[in-house]
Amino acid sequence: MSGALVLRSGRVAAPDGMRAAAVVVRDGRIAAVTDRDAHVDGATRDVDLGDLALLPGLVDTHVHVNEPGRTEWEGFATATRAAAAGGITTLCDMPLNSDPVTTTVEALRAKVRAARGQCAVDVAFWGGAVPGNTDQLVPLLDAGVVGFKCFLADTAIPEFPPLDRAGLRAAMSVLADTGAPVIVHAEDPAEITAPAGPGYDAFVASRPPVAERRAIETVVSAAAATGARAHIVHLAAAECAALIGAAKAAGIALSAETCPHYLFFAADEVPDGATQFKCCPPLRYAPNREALWRALAAEVIDCVVSDHSPCPPALKEGDFAAAWGGITSLQVALPAVWTVARERGHTLADIARWMSAFPASLAGLPAKGAIAPGRDADLVAFDPDATHVVRGADLLHRHPVTPYEGRALTGRVTRVWLRGAEILPDLPRGGRLLRRGGHDLVLS
Ligand SMILES: [Zn+2]
């Protein structure tokens, strides 16, 4: 039996804030968090990280891996290596853009077969709620998904159509007693129009904040009526924070995420024709971005996850109306958020809460999300002061196209441990497939 691994740092992101500590790891789990200079019996490896910060491995609950079926867009091998290099030690795969979409147990089986043995980090799966598969939801949950994604607006993937109000309520009713969340792409199709021109402003205007607001109203009333847990994915319109905050205050089981790109970029800076910035809902203007930051600081927005959604470069050609929507960011999410969080006075403890602790609880992964005794020893050494310029070609994503190209970011992941085993830079395929509750996902 191997002895303990000890990691010492002056800046450990513990659940109660940043502090100097020694983290003791035995058998892949955190055994203790103790004084930085403490003597540890049986330590066979003792690493002093100096001024490097130690973060809990990030949990990214919003990743489109696209395998099987569209592996040429992104696959488990490339996505999980990029994730690991970016400090993400667990990712949750979205149920669409792959073929088949994960709306049946059989399709989950195809996902598991595709992912097994390929992953550098731990992986869990969202199921999909679509018209006509309500009877599949509990079987999918029993088979191992962590919850369900649905859309209220068109997805551009014909086999993954949106739910209407009645469909949303039916899905949430079935799941109300399970604790599994329904995570919703909240844009109301009645408020979306065709862009009036080819430029970015016309695209933004075609998907206005009211589209998000009307859809969130639909989600809030469905959550209130059914008692199911609901979560708003990629919130872009900051004006919706009032609605979400009010629903939470009323005791409705609602949470919300936003994404690095909404916190980093603003519509004002999107160059003509730069479709690498296209996503839905769109990047909005600078005052909206600052309001998103206030909502995050006020804990109305609970977490920040990537919505990494790549496609082959050819699908990004054309104008904003025609190009595929989706931003590539898995490997740069942590430094991108840290760059702009630090400017606004936030700490790495905030980053740990937004990008690890809350997503772990959303996905029902109790061994993840914190540097605390009993948790998996998923740990990230992070230099919070190092700067670098993003070059898409250097990233481990399948495709280099990213709106962060050429941007200077602060913060660099230097070492990563998955269940106590150091995985950078070799990135072995030691990631596990996990089910809600955190056990291994085993599907024959
Ligand atoms: Zn997405």
Looking at residue 304, what is its pLDDT? 98
Q: How far apart are CA 143 and CA 242, in angstroms?
A: 37
Q: Ligand 1 centroid to 409 CA: how many Å?
A: 23
Q: How far apart are CA 170 and CA 291, in angstroms?
A: 33
Q: Ligand 1 centroid to 327 CA: how many Å?
A: 9
Q: Ligand 1 centroid to 309 CA: how many Å?
A: 6
Q: Which positions ≥6 away from 10 have C-beta within 8 Å? A: 20, 36, 50, 51
Task: Give me the phi and psi of 98, to 5 degrees please.
Answer: -80, 170
Looking at residue 443, what is its pLDDT? 86
Q: Ligand 1 centroid to 308 CA: how many Å?
A: 7
Task: Give the DSSP H or E segment for 351.
Answer: helix 348-352
Q: Ligand 1 centroid to 156 CA: how many Å?
A: 12
Residue 237 contacts residue 209 (beta carbons within 8 Å): yes
Q: Ligand 1 centroid to 13 CA: how many Å?
A: 28
* Closest to 234 measured CA to CA, from 194, 283, 267: 283
Q: How far apart are CA 297 and CA 320, in angstroms?
A: 32
Task: Give me the phi and psi of 316, to 5 degrees please.
Answer: -90, 0
Q: Which positions ≥6 away from 327 have C-beta within 8 Å? A: 259, 261, 276, 277, 278, 279, 307, 308, 309, 402, 403
Residue 282 contacts residue 230 (beta carbons within 8 Å): no
Q: Ligand 1 centroid to 301 CA: how many Å?
A: 17
Q: Ligand 1 centroid to 27 CA: how many Å?
A: 35
Q: Ligand 1 centroid to 420 CA: how many Å?
A: 30
Q: Ligand 1 centroid to 110 CA: how many Å?
A: 20
Q: Ligand 1 centroid to 50 CA: how many Å?
A: 37
Task: Give me the phi and psi of 95, to 5 degrees please.
Answer: -80, 5
Structure tokens at 256: 């919300």
Q: Which residues of the chain have pLDDT under 70?
A: 1-2, 444
Q: How far apart are CA 392 and CA 394, in angstroms?
A: 5
Q: Ligand 1 centroid to 93 CA: how many Å?
A: 10
Q: Ligand 1 centroid to 94 CA: how many Å?
A: 7
Q: Ligand 1 centroid to 117 CA: how many Å?
A: 24
Q: How far apart are CA 243 and CA 247, in angstroms?
A: 6
Residue 267 contacts residue 236 (beta carbons within 8 Å): no
Structure tokens at 439: 């056990």
Q: Ligand 1 centroid to 372 CA: how many Å?
A: 30
C-alpha distance across the termini of the chain, in Å: 31
Q: Ligand 1 centroid to 348 CA: how many Å?
A: 25
Tell me, what DSSP letter sits at residue 348? Answer: H
Q: How far apart are CA 399 and CA 314, in angstroms?
A: 11
Tell me, what DSSP letter sits at residue 238? Answer: G
Q: Ligand 1 centroid to 31 CA: how many Å?
A: 35
In this prediction the pTM is 0.98
Q: Which residues surround ligand 1, an ion (CB under 5 A)?
A: 307
Interval 40-92: pLDDT, tens: 999 999 999 999 999 999 999 999 999 999 999 999 999 999 999 999 999 99
Structure tokens at 258: 């936003």
